[in-house]
Every structure is written in structure tokens, then in C-alpha cells.
Amino acid sequence: MLYPPIEPYAVHRLDAGGGHRLYVEEAGDPGGIPVVFVHGGPGSGLAPVMRRFFDPARYRIILPEQRGAGRSTPRGELRDNTTWHLVDDLEMIRERLGVRAWLVFGGSWGSTLGLAYSQAHPDRVTGLILRGIYLVRRSERAWIYQGGLHHLQPEEWERFIAPIPAAERDDILAAYYRRLTGDDGEVARRCADAWMRWEAVNSSLTPDPGLIASLTADDTVLPAARILAHYVINGGFFASETQLLDGVDRIRHLPATIIQGRYDLCCPPVTAYDLAKRWPEATLHIVPGAGHSSLEPGITEHLIRSTDRFADDLSR
């Protein structure tokens, strides 16, 4: 279902202030429909396959790497790195690239940031395609980081909590954060490996050994884990648990599609359902037999149908 592999036609390194420089790719048709790909994580960066959800003959595909992620520098930097810095970065990128308004496409953390950006700048958004919804609510964080998910992944949960002494397991997230941001590099790397393995095994219905290896085997694992923990422990830097739900009225006029795997382990469907209840104009697809990953066949099919339909609607 994916479009054929393509290479970027342009690469930018943009100064975002505070010492941060952002890596941004552009692919597809320079005169096409602008779409911004908001990657997940936070802290994970881009992969070439992310260019392939869009018809390259119809879309101008803009793919930024968020602060501290991927090829943006300094890698893993937590200073001046909050959701609202990332929202400002997206708006800066839009202005620098001369885009009047763009389609927002994001999954997992990308759905979180996509919603935050769109609610802050609704006049700069033409529509939203969101997958694997994550609102960083306390219940969602407890599900994946404080034991809810262990009922489904007991052996992997034991591997996840192994680096944390029993006396500190009443708050697994805080214990990990202390180690990931501490001065002991060996401990930090060991915790990063365990953290990113836990993320990887819950990111698809069937664990992908290649994904597990890629997330735990190179120099990106510690920066990615640090940033992810930084955002989660701070509740996404939102003023309230329901900020993104309460802000839906600002974007209800925009066309929107929500795509959610029925058996998503890390972002359970109740979150997408709660969002859809507040946003009845949006189209919600609960995909049977699918988990979290955008590369699971049912998820991929819905994502590409959605980008094709959006382009068709604009061409009418």
C-alpha cells in the first residue's frame, strides 16, 4: 500500500534559537499540497518510510525532526525543549518554507503535537490525519509506565522494571528519569536500553525484532529515551489533563480523520474514542486486528486512503 521510496529534493537545517538547529526534509512535488509529517516519540526522529504515506506527485511532503531528535542538534538536549517550543518550531518552519497552510499528519506523540499545534494555529491548518492517539493524561501514563500494561506483557514488564530497585518501583517513571538524566553514563545507557525495548515491544501487535534492535543498539537510544521521559514526566507540558480535549472546539471546522488500532498496547483505543466524542465531525476508524504501528497493514491502508482522499477533495 505504501508509495514507492523517494529521496528528499531539499534538506534544511534551521536555527530555532537557544542553540537548537532543526533538520527538515522536503520530498515529493515542490508545487504540491503541503503536508507536515509530525513524528512520534518524542525524540525518535524520522525514517525514510515516513515519506511514503503520500502520493509524491500530489504532495509537498515536509518532514521535520523535533528538538533534540534524530539529526536535529544538540541531540538529546532537554533545555528549551517543551511542547510549546515544538509548536513554535512548526510555525517557524511553515513560515521559513513559505507555506500558507498545511495538512497535519501525525501518529502517537505526533498526534499529541499535531493537536497542540493545530489548536494554537487553526488558521494555518487545512486538515488533520491522526493515528494512535495520545493525550498524555495521567491514566495513559499509568497504563504504560506504572503497571497497567503488565497484565498483557508480564515477561516484558519484568524486563522493563529490572533496572529499578524494588524500593523505588512505586514511581517507575520518576526512577527512570533520575537515571536517564543522571551523571552515571553506564547506568543511563542500561536504563535507556530497557526503556526503549519496552517502547518497541508495545509498538506493534507482534513485536518486531528489527525495531527492537534499531531502538536499542546505537548512539540514539539514550538521547531518545531522555527526551521521551522528559515529556512524559512533565505531562506533555500541558496546563491540565484535558487541555487537548478542551481545545477541540478551535479545530472542529477542519476536516479530520482519526485512525486507531483496536489492540494498540501503548495508546489504548479509549483515548481515540474520547477524542472522537469531543469531535463528532471527525471520522474515526477503529482498525480490527491492528496495534500501534503505522506499518501494520490495516493502519497503513487507512492512512494512505486518508491522504489520497484529502488530495482528491482539494482537486474537486
283-287/125-131 β-pairing: unpaired
Task: Cell numbers for 119, please give them.
Answer: 489548536
Q: Which of 39, 121, 285, 292 does the annotation list as catalytic?
A: 292
∠ CA(38), CA(40), CA(44), 5° rounding? 115
List all residues 6 or more positions away from 85 whose beta carbon is below 8 Å from its beta carbon: 16, 18, 20, 67
Length in residues, the chain: 316
Q: Which of 39, 121, 264, 302 does the annotation list as catalytic?
A: 264
What whole-number distance in Å separates Cα of residue 22 and Cα of residue 275?
Answer: 30
> Residue 264 catalytic?
yes
Q: What's the DSSP call for residue 99? A: -
What whole-number distance in Å separates Cα of residue 206 and Cα of residue 187?
Answer: 29
Q: What is the CA radius of gyration of the chain?
A: 19
Full DSSP string of 34-76: EEEEE-STTTT---GGGGGGS-TTTEEEEEEPPTTSTTSBSTT
Q: Which of 108, 111, 294, 306 does the annotation list as catalytic?
A: 108
Active site positions, annotated: 108, 264, 292
